[in-house]
Amino acid sequence: MPSLPVRAISTIWAENAVFFGHWLRRPLAIGAVLPSGRAVARAMARELPARRSGVVLELGGGTGSLTQALLDAGCDAGELIVIERERALAQALRRRFPQLRIVEADARALGSVLADQKIQSLSGVVSSLPIKWFGLAAQRAIVDACLARLTPDAPFLQLTNALASPLPMRALGLDGVEVARVWAQLPPVQIWRYRRTVVGGGSR
Ligand SMILES: C[S@@+](CC[C@H](N)C(=O)[O-])C[C@H]1O[C@@H](n2cnc3c(N)ncnc32)[C@H](O)[C@@H]1O
């Protein structure tokens, strides 16, 4: 029986191998060579408000590194929903997290996906989609579907390593700020938090 650290390391290797295999086949669709490390996942989870009412939506579940951090940070299984487009990754997520709602779907059709799932209110969005590379119409479809459902002060969080906003804020009517930078990942990643710009200044 291997010791716990050995098992943990072999799990991480297995996860990395699955992820890397997908990246080799579809690099732009996956958007990163390896899954987010634990420091990134924990930093992302920390940006969620402690007091929440409603569903937390994860966009681009991958092999579940952010998902696990969200659960570790206290997200109830019943309040977390994960969207993942790649069938094999969605299936692996279902095996790893049988208690969660894992939806195999394209986030670019998020409005209808959320309507099908009967989700009217969100207490946070955690996205690691390679959204910088999506066209403006797809970015708008995703952002608008989320902002229409986010409760006041609930964040839309986006992971990136672009060193600048991965979303064109003016074109999408957004205010955004980099809220964290994690150096313990190669390349280093940043977390951006967005809200809808309110005409007349400020943001909600
Ligand atoms: C950079 S990886 C992040 C995976 C994981 N959350 C992490 O941090 O390690 C992006 C993930 O988004 C998924 N993805 C890319 N485009 C998507 C889309 N249009 N709809 C849903 N998922 C998508 C990819 O398959 C991949 O699993």
Q: Cα–Cα distance between 129 and 138 in angstroms, integer?
A: 12
Q: pLDDT tens digit string along 76-117?
A: 999 999 999 999 999 999 999 999 999 999 999 999 999 999
Q: pLDDT tens digit string along 117-144?
A: 999 999 999 999 999 999 999 999 999 9
Pocket of ligand 1 (CB under 6 A): 29-32, 35-36, 60-62, 65-66, 83-86, 89, 106-108, 128-130
Which residue puts its alpha carbon closest to atom 9 of ligand 1? 35
Q: pLDDT tens digit string along 31-54?
A: 777 788 889 999 999 999 888 878
Sheet containing 122-127, strands listed edge to edge, beginning at the edge strand earlier in sequence: 101-104, 80-84, 55-59, 122-127, 156-160, 189-196, 174-182
| Domain total of the chain | 1
Which residue puts its alpha carbon closest to atom 17 of ligand 1? 85
What was the pLDDT predicted at 1? 46
The verdict on residue 83 lying in a domain is yes
Which residue puts its alpha carbon closest to atom 5 of ligand 1? 62
Q: What is the CATH number of the domain that holds 95?
A: 3.40.50.150
What was the pLDDT predicted at 169? 97
- Which residues span the domain enclosing 74? 36-196
| Verdict on whether the full-model pTM lies above 0.85 | yes
202 CA to centre of ligand 1 in angstroms: 31
What was the pLDDT predicted at 141? 98
What was the pLDDT predicted at 26? 80
The verdict on residue 126 lying in a domain is yes
Q: Which atom of ligand 1 is nearest to the CA of 36?
A: 9
